[in-house]
Amino acid sequence: MSYQVLARKWRPRTFGEVVGQEHVLRALVNALDEGRLHHAYLFTGTRGVGKTTLARIFAKSLNCERGLGSSPCGECSTCREIDAGRYVDLIEVDAASRTGVDDTRELLDNVQYLPSRGRYKVYLIDEVHMFSRSSFNALLKTLEEPPPHIKFLLATTDPQKLPVTVLSRCLQFNLKALDRPRIEAHLATILEREGVGCEPRALAHLARAAEGSLRDALSLLDQAIAFGEGFVAEAGVIDMLGLSSDEGLFALLEALAGQDGTALFAAIERLGETAPDFSGVLAELIALLHAMALCRQLPEAPVEVTAQVERLRALAERLPAESLQLYYQIALLGRRDLPLAPTPRMGFEMTLLRMLAFAPESQAQVSGVATARGPAVPRPDSPAPSAPLASGASVPAAMPVERLSSSNAPSTALRAAASAPVIEPVPAVPSVVAPPGEIRVPVASTSLAAGGTSNDWPGLIRAMGLKAMVLMLAENCLLERIEDDAVHLVLPPSHSGMNSQAARDGLTRALEKHFGRPMRLNLRLAAAVAETPAVSRERERAARQQQAAQVIDEDPLVRHFIARTGAAVIPESIQPIETGDRS
C-alpha cells in the first residue's frame, strides 16, 4: 500500500476533529441541528486552516443517509464517497483553472436538475476569487435565487477580490490562523498515534515555521520525520529549516548588549558556517527581541519562544527598553530589505551593524565598556573628568538642560543646574581631549581692533541688530578671533545648512557697518568646545521654563486647588515671565 501523507491521513472527517475555529463550528453546528440553512456559504482565511475541509464536512452533514445533522456517521456510502472525493452530488470546482465565463455557464447549466442521490446538490468552488468579472456576473443570479436543492460552498484566501455583490449574497465565515501552542499540541498527538519519537523543542520550531497553517505544519512534520529517519530531533529540524540554534542567537544578543563588534562578527561567522536562511535567523531574532521586551516591561508575561527563559530574562535586564525597541525595528526593516542586498549574509551583517551603530547612549552608559564607536562612556553617576581651563572657562555651562534631564541624576541636581546663573563663554584654550575623529577648535584670545572692540560675540550680535537668516547664522557660530580687517567664525557641521552665500553677505555688511570699515568674514566648519549663542539662549530658556514649572508646582494655592478638585497642571501651559514683562 502506498504511503499517505500526514496532511491527508489526518484530515478531519467530522466537526469534532477540527482543530480550532470554534467560532465557525458553533454557527455551522447550530444551523445544521436547527435546520436553518442558507443557500451560500463563504469560507475565508489563510492557507491550510480548514476551509475546504469544513466545506466537505458540511456537505456530508447535508447528505448523510442517516439524517440531516451536525454529526455525519462516516460509515454510509454517501459519507465514504465524499471522503474519497467521488460523490456525484458534490461538484468540486477549482476556480483557478476554470476562470472563463463559458466554464461558469457550463457549470450552472446543471443547477436546474435535481440531485442524483442526496438531498442537496452541493457546489464547492475553491479559490473563488480567481473567477473573472464575467464569471462572477454569470454566477450572481443563480447565487441570489438558487433552486431549493442547491447549496453553494465558496472558499478563498483573498476575499478582498470578490465583488461586494457576491459577498452580500453569502454567509461569510473567516477562519483564523492557528496559534503555535495549538499546532504544537496537535503535532505531538499525531506523532504519538504514529509511534514516532520527538523532542518538544523540535515541534516548537515546526509550529513557528508553519505560521498558523496546520496543513503546512503537517507537511513540515512529514519532512522532519524523513530527515530524522523516523525521529524528530531539534538539531535536525534546525538544519532542515535553515534556522540557527538558541546558542547562536544568544551570542548575537550578548554581543549587542555589550556593544562588542568583534564578538558580534565572531558570532555571525559561526552562524555562517551552517549556511542558514538569514531571513529566518532575523525572524527568530525578532521573536527573541519581542520576548525580551515583554520580560522587561511585563515580567509576569509568559515566554514561549525559547527554552532558556532565565537567560533571556537576565539578558533583557542588561538592555534598556529603548534599545530593545530600536533593535526590533531595525531587524524588521532589515528583513524587509534583505532581498535587495547583494547577498543575504551581507544584508544580515549590515542589519546588525546598524544595531551596533545606533544603540542609544543609555546603553553605552549601562555597559560602561569600550564600544565599536569610540572610548568607554562613564556612567551617569560617576564624576566628570576634571580638566584645567584657561581664563576660567566653564565647560559645564555648555551642557543643555535637556541633556541633564535625560540622565539618571537626581532632580535636585537638575534644578540646581537649571537655576544656575548663565555664564557667558570666555574665549580660552581648554585642554579637553577630543574623541577620535572629531576636530576640536581652540577658542583663541581675540586680537582687538584699534578701537578696542569687545570680544563678546552675543553682545556684538545684539549691537548689530541682525534679522532672519543672518541672525540664525550668527547665533549658531562661535567667535574665533577678530583682526583689523577680518572676523573669524566657526560653524558646527550640524548647522552647515545655514551657511548660505546670502547669509554670509548679510553678516559681512552688518560687520562693516558696525566697525565702520571694510571687513572680511572667514567662516569655517568645525566642532567647538564652547556654547554658541543659540545654544546658550536655548539653555537659558529651558532654565527659565524649569524654574517657572517649579514655582507653579510649589505654589500653596495651586497645591490646595489640585488637592480639592483633582485637577492637573498642563506643563505646556506654563510660560515664564520674560524680562520686562509685567503681565
Characterize the bridge pairing of strands 231-232 and 440-441: unpaired
Q: What is the pLDDT of residues 277-329, one digit of tens each?
A: 888 889 889 988 998 888 888 877 666 655 577 888 888 888 888 889 999 99
Q: Which pLDDT score is estimated for 57?
A: 94
Instruction: Single out the residue in 350, 367, 384 at which a domain terminates.
Output: 367
Residue 428 lies in a domain: no
How many distinct structural domains can be found in the chain? 4
**For residue 330, what pLDDT is reported?**
94
CATH of the domain at 98: 3.40.50.300
| pLDDT for position 93 | 87
| pLDDT on residue 331 | 94
Question: Phi then psi for 90, rounded to 5 degrees?
Answer: -110, 105
Residues 128 and 154 sit within 8 Å (Cβ to Cβ): yes
Pick the last residue of a domain from 174, 206, 224.
174
Give the tens place of pLDDT for each residue, 202-215.
Answer: 898 899 888 899 99
- At residue 90, the pLDDT reads 92
Looking at 224-228, 349-353, 376-380, which range is the least confident one?
Answer: 376-380
126, 52 Cβ separation under 8 angstroms: yes
Last-in-domain residue among 190, 212, 241:
241
Residues 75 and 127 in one domain: yes
Q: What is the pLDDT of residues 554-569, one digit of tens each?
A: 888 888 888 888 788 8
Q: Residue 343 in contact with residue 279, Cβ under 8 Å?
A: no
Of 26-30, 216-220, 563-567, least confident by mean pLDDT is 563-567
Whether 127 and 94 have beta carbons less than 8 Å apart is answered as yes
Please name which of 20, 17, 50 lies closest in space to residue 180, comparing C-alpha atoms: 20
CATH number of the domain where residue 209 is located: 1.10.8.60
Q: Enter the C-alpha cell of residue 207.
A: 509550529
Q: Is residue 122 part of a domain?
A: yes
Report whether pLDDT(579) > 70.
no
- From residue 244, give the alpha-carbon distance in Å to each of 224, 239, 268, 278, 283: 16, 8, 11, 9, 11
Q: What is the mean pLDDT of residues 435-455?
A: 40
Question: Could you give the CA distance from residue 114 to residue 149 in angstroms, rounded to a whole number?
Answer: 7
Using the predicted structure, report yes or no on whether residue 42 has a pLDDT greater than 90. yes
Give the pLDDT band of residue 578 (cuts 50, 70, 90). Answer: low
Q: Find cell 555651562 and name the residue.
A: 397
SS (H, E, C) 23-49: HHHHHHHHHHHHCCCCCEEEEECCCCC
In this structure, are 558 and 454 located in the same domain? yes
Q: How confident is the model at residue 363 (pLDDT cuts 50, 70, 90)?
A: low
- How many whole angstroms separate alpha carbon 56 and alpha carbon 66? 17
CATH number, position 292:
1.20.272.10
Asked, for residue 401, whether it belongs to a domain, the answer is no
Of the candidates 422, 452, 427, 418, the residue with the CA atom closest to the CA atom of residue 548: 418
Residues 307, 280 within the same domain: yes
Q: Let me know if residue 374 belongs to a domain.
A: no
Task: Judge whether 346 lies within some domain.
Answer: yes
Q: Does residue 375 belong to any structural domain of this protein? A: no
140 and 31 in a single domain? The answer is: yes
Measure the N-to-C terminal CA separation of the chain; round to a whole number of Å: 97
DSSP of 365-377, one letter per residue? HHH-S-BTTBS--
Q: What is the pLDDT of residue 286?
A: 92
What mean pLDDT is predicted for residues 233-237? 89
Q: What is the pLDDT of residue 217?
A: 93
Q: pLDDT > 90: what percent of the chain?
A: 28
Whether pLDDT at 201 is above 50 = yes
Confidence of residue 271 (pLDDT cuts 50, 70, 90): confident
Asked if residue 388 is part of any domain, the answer here is no
Question: What is residue 54's predicted lDDT score, i.e. its pLDDT?
Answer: 93
DSSP 8-state code for residue 576:
P
The answer to whether 152 and 144 have CB atoms below 8 angstroms apart is: no
> How many whole angstroms separate alpha carbon 497 and alpha carbon 479?
19
Residue 89 scores a pLDDT above 50: yes
Nearest to 500 by CA among 475, 539, 472: 472
- Within this chain, do residues 447 and 534 fall inside the same structural domain, yes or no? yes
Confidence band for 364, pLDDT divided at 50, 70 and 90: low
Domain span including residue 477: 409-419+439-571
- The 10s digit of each residue's pLDDT in 407-431 is 343 334 333 434 444 434 434 333 3
Q: Residue 181 above 50 pLDDT?
A: yes
The Cα–Cα gap between 159 and 365 comes to 51
Query: 550 to each of 462, 518, 545, 565, 569, how far by Cα in Å?
Result: 30, 49, 9, 20, 12
Specify the DSSP class assigned to residue 494.
G
Beta carbons of 443 and 529 less than 8 angstroms apart = yes
Average pLDDT value over all residues in the chain: 79
Phi (first) and psi of residue 289, to 5 degrees: -65, -40
Question: Are residues 459 and 483 located together in one domain of the fold?
Answer: yes
Contact partners, residue 491, CB within 8 Å, separation at least 6:
473, 476, 477, 478, 498, 499, 523, 524, 525, 526
Least confident of 100-109, 111-120, 460-469: 100-109
Residue 237 and residue 269 in one domain: no
Quick one: 53 and 110 in the same domain? yes
Q: Could you give the percent of the chain with pLDDT greater than 70?
A: 81
Q: Are residues 210 and 343 in the same domain?
A: no
Residues 237 and 215 in one domain: yes
Residues 50 and 66 in one domain: yes
- CA dihedral defined by 492, 498, 500, 506, rounded to 10 degrees? -100
Nearest to 221 by CA among 240, 247, 243, 244: 240
When pLDDT is cut at 50, 70 and 90, the band that residue 433 belongs to is very low
> What's the rounded Cα separation, in Å, for the pair 73 and 67?
9
User: Lowest-confidence range among 50-64, 273-287, 304-318, 473-487?
Assistant: 304-318
Q: Is the pLDDT of residue 222 over 60?
A: yes
Most confident of 89-98, 433-442, 453-462, 572-581: 89-98
Query: What residue has cell string 544580515?
Result: 348
Q: Does 74 fall in a domain?
A: yes
Give me the count of residues in the chain.
583
Whether 528 contacts 495, CB under 8 Å: no
* pLDDT for position 307: 57
- The average pLDDT across 103-130 equals 87
Whether the per-residue pLDDT at 31 is higher than 90: the answer is yes
The answer on 529 and 450 residing in a single domain is yes
